[in-house]
Amino acid sequence: MNNVIKDGWEVCPKNTHGLYSFADDEYFSENFKEEYPLVYKEQRIVQDMLKLFIPGEYGYYFSETHEHDEPEDIPHGKGVWKTVYYTPVAFYYESGEYNIIETVSTEDYIYYAISLHGSGFASALTEYVRVAKEQ
């Protein structure tokens, strides 16, 4: 399958969740549900939030899998991103990992920075999503 890249963003059709954060439910159930129940529960919460935030076609960039440069329009700067989800402290202390979803809105797009599975010993990897605003 050839990935379509437009303006540095992989184009993902509606109802296609190619994000790392949309890992297969069966995978998480088999590998985390019993041994790491809080990680499993929080992953379900994060995925449900992302399904609400990203209902249609979206642009996707994850430096770990994309070999091209970061898209130029990813917003940068202090105070630009607003946090919409951060792992509660009690969950973090019990599970040992954290997840963060941040967002920023421009005239044409809503951007999401999705940082998952960070811990006290490793930062969370961040993937970016760009969703066009309805016109």
The CA radius of gyration of the chain, in Å to the nearest whole number, is 15
pTM, two decimal places: 0.86
**φ/ψ of residue 41, rounded to 5:** -60, -45
C-beta separation of 3 from 10 below 8 A: yes
pLDDT for the residue 80: 95
Per residue in 4-30, pLDDT tens? Answer: 889 999 998 876 655 655 556 777 788
Locate 109 and state its tokens. 């797009």
Q: Are strands 82-86 and 58-61 parallel, antiparallel or unpaired?
A: unpaired
